[in-house]
């Protein structure tokens, strides 16, 4: 309805704003290294985090739970939830590392975690391009195009080591650095409980999605 469409528009523009602020943060190296202008970097960073935690993340969950998905809804919902929660994980860890500043390299690690969070949030973009292509080819199968594009592009999670290990996966640890793992994640190596939590999260996501989506439809 109109309310749902309004939330979609808010989510899209908030996401774009967050990405623009993130790009400025990443590429304005002179600003963040200069003591006289570093405050600008901090204020923009606070704005980016505020945009995510106050608008992007809540609207992402809202849209995931309420959107109509006719084909393979639980797996599709799981991919969307993983994107949202792993983005939250990286941004929170990045904020925490900067706040604690355990070593002289903490701010550099903070930047890497923030970059991981931004890239994670943008992992939905390949799906959008594939969905657009499929829609142009199969104009009368919008729902099928959506589910196929989500699940096909999620193969990237498998290729880059994210599928089984989550934020500790190959592509992420390559960016963060093994030597920084303890400060970044809270422990140098994942405990057996954490490893199983990351590996079984897909089943947990699907269960949560199925239950909440069903309850919301009853209202």
What letter would DSSP give residue 169? S
User: What is the Rg, in whole angstroms, of the alpha carbon atoms belonging to the chain?
Assistant: 18
- Predicted TM-score (pTM) of this structure: 0.91
Using alpha carbons, select from 171, 44, 59, 165 the residue that is nearest to residue 120: 171
Question: What does the pLDDT read at residue 130?
Answer: 83
State yes or no: pLDDT of 1 exceeds 70. no
**Which among 165, 175, 30, 185 is positioned nearest to 96, based on CA atoms?**
185
Instruction: Let me know: does 143 contact 69? Beta carbons within 8 Å.
Output: yes
- The per-residue pLDDT for 82 is 95
Rounded Cα distance between 133 and 127, Å, is 10
Q: How far apart are CA 41 and CA 115, in angstroms?
A: 14
Separation between Cα atoms, residue 190 and residue 185, nearest integer Å:
8
98 CB neighbour count, 10 Å cutoff = 17
**Is the pLDDT at 2 greater than 90, yes or no?**
no
- Band (pLDDT 50/70/90 cuts) for residue 133 is confident
Query: Mapping DSSP to helix (H, G, I), strand (E, B) and coil, where does residue 102 land?
Result: coil
Q: Which of 59, 78, 202, 84 is nearest to 147 (CA)?
A: 78
pLDDT 10s digits, 12-49: 999 999 999 999 888 887 777 777 788 888 888 999 99
Q: Is the per-residue pLDDT at 58 higher than 90?
A: yes
Q: Which residue, among 187, 46, 191, 167, has the nearest Cα to 112 in the 3D structure?
A: 167
The DSSP secondary-structure symbol of 167 reads G
pLDDT digits (tens, 9 = 90+) for 134-155: 777 777 778 888 888 888 888 8
Residue pair 25/114 in contact by the 8 Å Cβ criterion: yes
Q: What is the DSSP secondary-structure string of 55-107?
A: IIHHHHHHHHHHS---SSHHHHHHHHHHHHHHHHHHHHHHHHHHHH--STTHH
Q: What percent of the chain shows pLDDT beyond 70?
A: 99
pLDDT in tens, 177-217: 999 999 999 999 999 999 999 999 999 999 999 999 888 87
């Amino acid at each position: 309805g109109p309310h749902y469409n309004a939330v979609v528009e808010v989510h899209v523009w908030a996401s774009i704003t967050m990405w623009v602020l993130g790009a400025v943060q990443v590429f304005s190296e002179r600003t963040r290294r200069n003591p006289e202008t570093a405050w600008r970097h901090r204020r923009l960073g606070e704005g980016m985090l505020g945009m995510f935690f106050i608008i992007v993340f809540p609207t992402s969950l809202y849209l995931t739970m309420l959107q109509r998905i006719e084909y393979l809804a639980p797996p599709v919902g799981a991919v969307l939830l993983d994107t949202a929660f792993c983005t939250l994980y990286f941004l929170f860890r990045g904020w925490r590392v900067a706040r604690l500043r355990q070593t002289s390299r903490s701010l550099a690690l903070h930047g890497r975690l923030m970059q991981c969070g931004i890239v994670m949030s943008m992992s939905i973009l390949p799906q959008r391009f594939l969905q657009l292509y499929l829609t142009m080819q199969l104009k009368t199968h919008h729902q099928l195009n959506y589910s196929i594009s989500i699940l096909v592009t999620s193969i990237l999670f498998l290729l880059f080591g994210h599928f089984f290990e989550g934020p500790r996966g190959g592509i992420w640890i390559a960016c963060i650095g093994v030597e920084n793992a303890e400060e970044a994640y809270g422990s140098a190596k994942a405990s057996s409980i954490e490893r199983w939590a990351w590996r079984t999260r897909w089943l947990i996501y699907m269960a949560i999605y199925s239950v909440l989506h069903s309850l919301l439809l009853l209202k």
